[in-house]
Chains A and B, each alone.
Chain A
Amino acid sequence: MGTTALVTLICLAIVALVSVAIGSLGVRMARTTSDFLVASRTVGPTANAAAISGEYLSAASFLGVAGLILKDGPDALWYPVGFTAGYLGLLLFVAAPLRRSGAYTVPDFADVRLRSVPLRRVCTLVVIVIGWLYVLPQLQGAGLTVATVTSLPGWSGVVSAAIVVIASVIFGGMRSITFVQAFQYWLKLTALAVPVIFLVLHFAGDRRSFDRPAPPEFPADTTVSVQTDVTLEVSQPVSFSARGVLDGRQENGLVRWQQGTTHTVQQGASLTFSAGTSVPVVAGTPQTDASWLTPLSGKREYQLLEIYSLILATFLGTLGLPHVLARFYTNSDGRAARRTTVVVLAMLGAFYLMPTLLGALSRLYVPQLLVSGQTDAAILRLPAAALGENWLATALGGLVAAGAWAAFLSTSSGLVVSVAGVLFTDVLKGRLRSFTLATLIAGTVPMVLALFASRLDLAQTVVLAFAVAASTFCPLLVLGIWWRGLTDRGAIAGVAVGGALSAVSVMLSLFDVGATGWVSALLIRPAAISAPAAFLTMIVVSKLTQKRVISDVDHVLLRLHAPERLGLSQDRLPDTAG
C-alpha cells in the first residue's frame, strides 16, 4: 500500500475514533430528545445553524454533487438547489405548527392530530424505511472512499463505517450534541475549501478552458478499470488498448471506436488511453465540454420528467426527514427559528459552492471517471490528479477523505439513532426490548443493503429517501397542519399509497430490475407519480370518511396555528426564556 493510502487510512481512523469517543462522552439520550434540546437551546443561532447544516450535509452533498457536476454539468445543480429549497419549504409550511403541537417526530404528530394507533404504526414503518434509505448511500460512500484511496475492497469501507456508527450510537446512545455537529460543519467546509483554493490556483496557472466544442481529453496516459457495467458514447474516434469484455466480446489489445458509436463495457474490464485522447462519456450525458456547460444538454430521453421528479422529491421530501425535523426544535421560539434558517441557508449555499467548483475542475483533471462511471470518486481523486504525487496532494487527499468520512458518520449516526429509537419504542416488545438490539438492527440492515444493492450515484440514492418522504410524510404534515378535513383513514390511505409506490420503485431500482422508456426514468425518481398520488388519495379518502374528522379538530388546529406561549400549546420543556 502506498504512502498516500496509508496516510488516508490514518486520517479515516482518526475521524472514526473521534466520533466514537465524542459519542460516548456525550449525554445519554432519553427516549425524547429533550436532552440534546436543552444543550442546543443554550447556544446561539450561529452555532445552532452550523449544527443543522453539519448534520444535513451528507455523502450526497459532499461527494455526490461534485460527481454529478462532472457528469452532467449545471443540471446537477438541481440537487443542491433542491436540498436548500426543501429546507425553506420546511420553514414556511411545517416548522412552526409542528413545534406548537409539541410533537417531535412525525408519528407523534400523527397521534396529536389524528389520534389513530394504526396510523402511528404506519408512520413508524415509514420512519424506518426513510432512515435506512438515507443511511444506505452514506455507507456506500464510505465503501467508495476506502476503495478509491486504498487498494482495499469496497466492502471493507462499508462494514467498518457501519461498525463505527453502531458503536458510537451504542456507547453514546444519542444523537450528537450541537457542539459536535457544528464542528462537523466546519470540518466538512474546510475539507473542501482548502483543496478548492489550491486547485483553483493550479487551474488558473494551467491555462486550460472548458469552452471547447470538443470532448474532454485525458491529461496523461490513464488506465481505467471499469467497476460497473457501463454504456459509452464516442464523439471523436478513439483508439486504446483494452482487456476485458467490450460489446459482448472478449478483447485483449488495441481497440478502435468510431465517431458517433455506442459501446458497452462490462465490469472488470481495463482500458488504457494515451494522453490527449478524447474521453468517451456515459451514454446520455453531455459529450463536449461546451454542451456540458449548458443546462439540459444531455440526450437522455425524458430528461424533463426526471428533473421534475427530482424537484418534487427534494422540495417536498426535506420536511419529512427525521433528522432534519428534530433539529428544528433546537430553537426556543419562532423568531430564533427564522434567524437560524437564514443562517442555515447561507451556510448551505456557501458549502455547495465547493463541490460545484471541484466537480467542474474534475472534468479537466479526472475525466477518466466519465468512462468508469464512478463519478462520485471525483473529489477524492482530484488532488493527486491535478497536483501530482507529492506531499501536498497526499495531505489534501487525506483531508478530503476525512471530511467525507465525517459526513457519512455524522449523518448516519443521527439516522441510526432515530430508527433505533423508533424500533425501541414501537416495535421491539417484551424481552427483545433493548436499545442495543434496536441499534444493531438499525445499523445492520442498511449495511447489508449497501453490500448487495447496485450502486447508483450517491446523490441519486439519497434522493430516493427524499422521494419516500415526499410521498408519505409531506402530504400528512401539510394536509394535517393546513386542512381541517383530514381523517385518519385518509391519512393511512395516502401514506400507504405514496409509500408503496415510492418504496417499491426504489427497491426495483436498487436491485436493478430493468425497464425502458419513461418507466425506467420514473423507477429511479418516483416522486412525480407517488407524491401527487399520495396527496390525492389522502384528500379523496378523507372526503369519503368525512364523519371521522376528530370532534375537536378546531381546537387542535388552533393549537397549531395560534401564537406561542398562550398556554394553549404544551411544550415539553418549561419556557424559561420568557
Chain B
Amino acid sequence: MSLAGERPAEITQYQQVQASPEFIQLKRKLRNFIFPMSVAFLLWYLAYVLLATYAPAFMSTKVFGNINVGLIIGLSQFVTTFLITTLYVRYANRQLDPLSEHLRRQIEEAGL
C-alpha cells in the first residue's frame, strides 16, 4: 500500500489536485464544520457535568412527576448526539458532496 512505486505522471496529478482551489475549499468547508461542532459538542457535555457538580439544587428541580432537570439534561445528551449527526449528514450531503463531485469531474477531464 505504499506510494513508492508511483509513476511521475500520477505524482503530478496529486500535486494538481492539491493545488486546486476547489480542493482547498473542500478541505476548509469540512474543517469549518467539524472543529467548531466538536468544540460545541464537548462544551455541552462539560456543561452538564459542571452543572451537576456546582448547581445540584437546580438539577434536582422537578419538572413533572419524578423527573428532574438533571435527568432531562442527561437524557438529552443522547438526543444531542443524534442531532449533531443529522446536522453533519445534511451538511455533507448539501455542501461537501457537490464540491467533491465538481472536483472529481474537473480532474478527470483535465488529467486523463
Contact between chains at B3 and A555 (CB < 8 Å):
yes
Contact B81 A85 (CB under 8 A): yes
Q: Which residue of B lies closest to A85 (CB)?
A: B81
With the chains together, A559 CA to B97 CA distance in Å?
Answer: 17
- Whether A563 is near chain B, meaning CB under 8 Å from some CB there, is yes
Nearest CB of B to A459, in Å: 16
**Cβ B14 vs Cβ A342 within 8 A:** no
CA distance A209 to B67 in the complex (A): 11
Per-residue 0/1 for B52-92: is the Cβ within 8 Å of any A Cβ (1 yes, 0 no)?
Answer: 11001001101001101011011101110110111011001
Q: Which one, A51-59, A249-257, A258-266, A332-340, is touching chain B?
A: A332-340
Residues of B1-34 at the interface with A, using a CB-CB cut-off of 8 Å, are 1-3, 6, 11, 13-15, 17-18, 23, 26-27, 30, 34
Residues of A within 8 A of B (CB): 74-75, 77, 80-81, 84-85, 88-89, 91-93, 101-103, 108, 111-112, 115, 209-211, 290, 293-297, 303-304, 307-308, 311, 334-335, 338-339, 341-342, 345-346, 349, 352, 552, 554-556, 558-559, 561-563, 565-566, 568, 570
Which residue of chain A has its CB nearest to the CB of B72?
A: A74
Give complex CA distance A507, B100 in Å. Answer: 47
Q: Are B88 and A112 in contact (CB under 8 A)?
A: no
- Size of the chain B interface, CB-CB below 8 angstroms: 54
Say yes or no: B85 contacts A555, CB within 8 Å: no
Q: In the assembly, what is the distance between CA of A93 and CA of B42, in Å? A: 14
Bound-state CA distance A563–B92 (Å) is 12
**A568 lies within 8 A of B1 (CB):** no
16 residue pairs of the A-B complex, CB under 8 angstroms, read A75-B52, A81-B74, A81-B81, A92-B34, A92-B37, A92-B38, A294-B52, A295-B73, A295-B74, A335-B92, A338-B93, A341-B85, A342-B89, A558-B14, A558-B17, A568-B13
A335 B93 Cβ-Cβ under 8 A: yes
A293:B71 contact, CB within 8 angstroms: yes
Query: Inside 8 A of A346's CB, which chain B residues have their CB?
Result: 82
A349–B78 CB distance below 8 A: yes
By a CB distance below 8 angstroms, the chain B residues around A303 are 53
Once A85-B81, A111-B1, A345-B81 are accepted as A-B contacts, the answer to whether A296 and B88 lie under 8 Å apart by CB is no
**Per-residue A-contact encoding for B37-51, CB less than 8 Å = 1, 0 else:** 110010001001100
Known: A77-B74, A108-B1, A294-B68. A345 touches B59 (CB 8 A): no
> Cβ of B81 and Cβ of A74 under 8 Å apart?
no
- Given A74-B71, A563-B26; 19 other pairs, CB 8 A cutoff: A75-B52, A81-B74, A81-B81, A84-B78, A85-B77, A85-B81, A93-B34, A101-B1, A102-B1, A211-B66, A294-B68, A334-B92, A349-B81, A558-B17, A558-B18, A559-B3, A563-B103, A565-B104, A568-B17
Q: Is the interface of B mostly helix, strand, loop or mixed?
A: helix
- Least Cβ–Cβ distance between B105 and chain A, in angstroms: 10
Give the residue of B56, B68, B104 whose beta carbon is less than 8 angstroms from that of A296.
B56
Most B CB contacts (10 A, CB to CB) among A108, A346, A554, A555 go to A555
9 tightest A-B CB contacts, nearest first: A563-B100, A296-B52, A295-B52, A295-B70, A338-B89, A81-B77, A74-B74, A294-B60, A211-B66
For residue B98, give the distance in angstroms from its CB to the closest CB of chain A.
Answer: 11
Q: Is the interface of A mostly helix, strand, loop or mixed?
A: helix
Tell me if B14 and A210 are in contact (CB < 8 A).
no
B56–chain A nearest beta-carbon distance, Å: 7
Q: A209 to B89, Cβ gap below 8 A?
A: no
Which chain A residues border B79 with CB–CB below 8 Å?
349
Shortest beta-carbon distance from A554 to chain B in Å? 6
| B82 CB contacts on chain A under 8 angstroms | 342, 345-346, 349
Cα separation A346 to B57 with both chains bound (whole Å) = 32
Contact of A112 among B2, B45, B77, B84 (CB under 8 A): B2
Q: Flag if A555 contacts B14 (CB, 8 Å).
A: yes
Across the interface, which residues of B come within 8 angstroms of A339, CB to CB?
A: 89
Question: Shortest Cβ distance from B59 into chain A, in angstroms?
Answer: 6
| Residues in A whose Cβ lies below 8 Å from that of B41 | 85
Select which of A81, A112, A334, A555 is within 8 A of B78 by beta carbon.
Answer: A81
Q: Is the CB of B86 within 8 A of A342?
A: yes
Question: Is the CB–CB distance between B104 and A112 below 8 Å?
Answer: no
Contact A115 B2, beta carbon cutoff 8 Å? yes
Query: Is there contact, CB below 8 Å, between B88 and A92?
Result: yes
Interface centre among B13, B27, B74, B97 (most CB of A within 10 A): B74
Contacting residues, chain A, for B60 (C-beta < 8 A)? 290, 293-294
Cross-chain contact of A568 among B14, B53, B92, B101 (Cβ < 8 A): B14
Cβ–Cβ contact A91 & B66, under 8 A: no
Contacts of B92 in A (CB 8 A): 334-335, 338
The docked-state distance in angstroms from the alpha carbon of A111 to that of B89 is: 30
Cβ of A562 to closest chain B Cβ, rounded Å: 6
Query: Given A210-B66, A555-B11, is A562 in contact with B23 using a C-beta cutoff of 8 Å?
Result: yes
Cα of A75 to Cα of B11 in the assembled complex, Å: 53
Q: Select one of A88, A293, A304, A552 contacting B3, CB under 8 A.
A: A552
- Give the residues in chain A near B84, CB-CB below 8 Å: 88
* Residues of chain B lying within 8 A (CB to CB) of residue A88: 81, 84-85
Closest A residue by C-beta to B102: A563
Q: Which residues of A contact B101 (CB under 8 A)?
A: 563
| Contact for B66 among A77, A209, A297, CB less than 8 A | A209
Point out the residues of chain B lying under 8 angstroms from A89, CB to CB. Answer: 38
Contacts of A561 in B (CB 8 A): 27, 30
What is the minimal beta-carbon distance from B96 to any residue of chain A, in angstroms? 8
Residues of A within 8 A of B52 (CB): 75, 294-296
CA separation between A40 and B92, bound complex, in Å? 23
